[in-house]
C-alpha cells in the first residue's frame, strides 16, 4: 500500500492541474465570448440609435412640412396690438410697423424651445451686417422683464426687442412653443411664416435666402 501512495499523489496532482487548465481555458473562452457579445450588442445598440435618430429626423421634417404648409398663407393680425420696446419703454401698434412693411419678425417666449431660439438668433447674427435695423424686430414674452433683458445681454442682441401686451399674436403656431419668423405686410398680415427646424438648420438658411430675393428692401 505504501508503494502505491506516491503514484496516487502524482495522479491526483495531474488531475488537479488538468482541472485548473480546463478552468483557465473555460474562463478565457467565457471572457472572449463576453467581449464578443458586448461588442455585438454595442454595435446593435449604435445601429438602433442611428435608426431612431433617422426616424426622429424624418418625423421632424414631416412635422415641419405640415406646419409650415399650414401657416404659409397670410394670417390677419390685430392692427391695434400694442408692443412695448424693452429698451426705451415706448409703445407702438402693429399697424405702425405695417406702415414700414415689409418687416421681418422673430417671435418667441420664455417657454419656447431654447435650442431653437438660440439657433434662430445665431442665423440672424451671421447676417447681422445685412439686415436694416428698422426691418428686423423681435417680439418676446417673458413674465419677468429682467429675465428678458438678461437674455438680450447674454445673447448680444442689438436688434429692438418688444413685448406684447396680451402675450399672444393669435397665430395658432404659438401654441407649439417654437420660435418662428414671419413677414408683416401693409395689411397687418403675417406672411411667409416659418419655424426653424433644429435638426435641419440649412432650411433656415434657405428661408433667409428666399427673403433676400423676395424682399431685398429688408437688407442693406
Q: Is residue 112 domain-shared with residue 36, that is, in the same domain?
A: no
Q: Is residue 148 domain-shared with residue 197, that is, in the same domain?
A: yes
Across the strands, what pairs with 106? 138, 181
For the chain, which residues score pLDDT lower than 50? Answer: 1-2, 62, 66-67, 69-71
Quote the CA–CA distance of 109 and 113 in Å, as a whole number: 9
The domain boundary, picked from 70, 104, 126, lies at: 70
Domain CATH code at residue 94: 3.40.30.10
Q: Which residue has the cell 420660435?
A: 179
The domain boundary, picked from 42, 70, 98, lies at: 70
Q: Is residue 59 domain-shared with residue 81, that is, in the same domain?
A: no
Quote the CA–CA distance of 76 and 184 in Å, as a whole number: 10
Q: Is residue 80 domain-shared with residue 48, that is, in the same domain?
A: no
Nine-digit cell string for 133: 435695423
Dihedral sign (CA 172, 175, 180, 183): positive
Q: Closest Cα partner for 115 from 195, 18, 210? A: 195
* 188-217 residue pLDDT tens: 999 888 888 887 788 888 888 888 888 888
104 within 8 A of 183, measured Cβ to Cβ = yes
Q: Is residue 62 domain-shared with residue 80, that is, in the same domain?
A: no
* pTM reported for the whole predicted model: 0.67
Q: Is residue 29 domain-shared with residue 65, that is, in the same domain?
A: yes
Q: Is residue 30 domain-shared with residue 110, that is, in the same domain?
A: no
What is the number of alpha carbons within 13 Å of residue 50 lying toward its C-beta? 6
* Residue numbers of the domain that contains 62: 1-70
* 113-123 residue pLDDT tens: 888 899 999 88
Domain count, the chain: 2
| Secondary structure letter of residue 140 according to DSSP | E
Q: Is residue 9 domain-shared with residue 103, that is, in the same domain?
A: no
Q: Is residue 85 domain-shared with residue 16, that is, in the same domain?
A: no
The domain boundary, picked from 70, 92, 126, lies at: 70
Residues 6+ apart with CB under 8 A from 215: 102, 104, 183
Residues 6+ apart with CB under 8 A from 37: none
Q: How far is CA 92 from CA 82, 118, 135, 186, in A?
A: 6, 26, 15, 15
Amino acid at each position: 500500500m505504501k508503494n502505491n501512495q506516491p503514484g496516487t499523489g502524482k495522479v491526483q496532482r495531474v488531475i488537479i492541474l488538468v482541472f485548473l487548465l480546463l478552468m483557465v481555458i473555460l474562463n478565457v473562452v467565457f471572457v472572449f465570448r463576453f467581449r464578443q457579445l458586448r461588442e455585438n450588442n454595442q454595435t446593435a445598440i449604435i445601429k438602433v440609435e442611428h435608426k431612431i435618430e433617422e426616424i426622429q429626423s424624418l418625423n421632424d421634417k414631416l412635422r415641419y412640412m405640415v406646419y409650415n404648409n399650414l401657416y404659409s398663407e397670410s394670417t390677419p393680425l390685430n392692427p391695434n396690438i400694442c408692443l412695448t420696446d424693452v429698451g426705451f419703454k415706448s409703445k407702438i401698434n402693429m399697424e405702425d410697423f405695417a406702415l414700414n412693411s415689409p418687416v421681418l419678425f422673430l417671435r418667441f417666449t420664455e417657454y419656447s424651445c431654447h435650442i431653437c431660439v438660440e439657433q434662430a438668433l445665431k442665423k440672424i447674427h451671421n447676417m447681422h451686417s445685412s439686415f436694416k435695423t428698422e426691418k428686423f424686430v423681435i417680439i418676446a414674452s417673458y413674465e419677468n422683464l429682467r429675465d428678458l433683458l438678461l437674455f438680450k445681454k447674454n445673447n448680444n442682441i442689438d436688434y429692438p426687442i418688444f413685448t406684447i401686451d396680451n402675450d399672444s399674436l393669435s397665430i395658432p403656431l404659438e401654441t407649439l412653443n417654437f420660435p418662428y419668423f414671419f413677414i408683416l405686410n401693409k395689411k397687418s398680415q403675417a406672411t411667409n411664416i416659418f419655424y426653424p427646424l433644429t435638426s435641419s438648420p440649412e432650411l433656415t438658411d434657405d428661408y433667409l435666402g428666399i427673403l433676400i430675393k423676395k424682399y431685398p428692401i429688408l437688407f442693406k
